[in-house]
Amino acid sequence: MISKRRQRGITLSGLITGCIVLGAAALLAMKLWPVYNEKMKVDQAMEHLGSNPDAARMSKGEVVQALMRQFDVSDVDRFDTPGLSKVVTVGKKKGTNDKVVMIEYEIRAPLFGNLDVIMNYRNVKEFGPVKTD
């Protein structure tokens, strides 16, 4: 029996196992970071749209153009104007005169091999009542 006083450090098998676990975690983080980074940029663009005082009076085309300007600044390359028009919905909240802007789409990113990661994105922004002049 080896006394505890003579034991020092980690075994080779423990070191290899630790490196494998750390490498797998790093690979997963590197593959998933762009997906979550894009999600945060789209969230930020929706928040910027929500802070616009004229957003309640914007048409769908104006909302799409405002979002595209934010996407250009934030470097979101997933959308062009026609593509963004397909995933943005502008309407009124049921039972009220409040305006609702919703963006909903699916992000699919390769993980490794034939395994993909799919993230369903949905963000709804409500505005006050639509005022007509």
For 44-97, the pLDDT digits (tens) are 999 999 888 888 888 889 989 999 999 999 988 888 888 888 999 988 888 777
Residue 16 lies in a domain: no
Confidence (pTM): 0.77
Asked whether residue 63 is domain-assigned, the answer is yes
For residue 11, is it within any domain?
Answer: no
Does residue 97 sit within a domain? yes
Task: Give the number of domains in the chain.
Answer: 1
Q: Does some domain include residue 8? A: no
Quick check: is 1 in a domain?
A: no
Q: Kindly state whether residue 100 falls inside one of the protein's structural domains.
A: yes
Give phi and psi for 99, each to the nearest 5: -90, 140
**Position 37: which residue type?**
N
Q: How confident is the model at residue 41 (pLDDT cuts 50, 70, 90)?
A: very high
The whole domain housing 66 covers 34-129
Q: Is residue 109 part of a domain?
A: yes
Q: How far is CA 20 from the centre of its chain?
A: 28
The Cα 109–Cα 35 span in angstroms is: 7
Q: Are 65 and 81 in contact (CB under 8 A)?
A: yes
- The order of strands in the sheet holding 88-92 is 88-92, 98-112, 115-129
The predicted model gives 10-24 an average pLDDT of 94
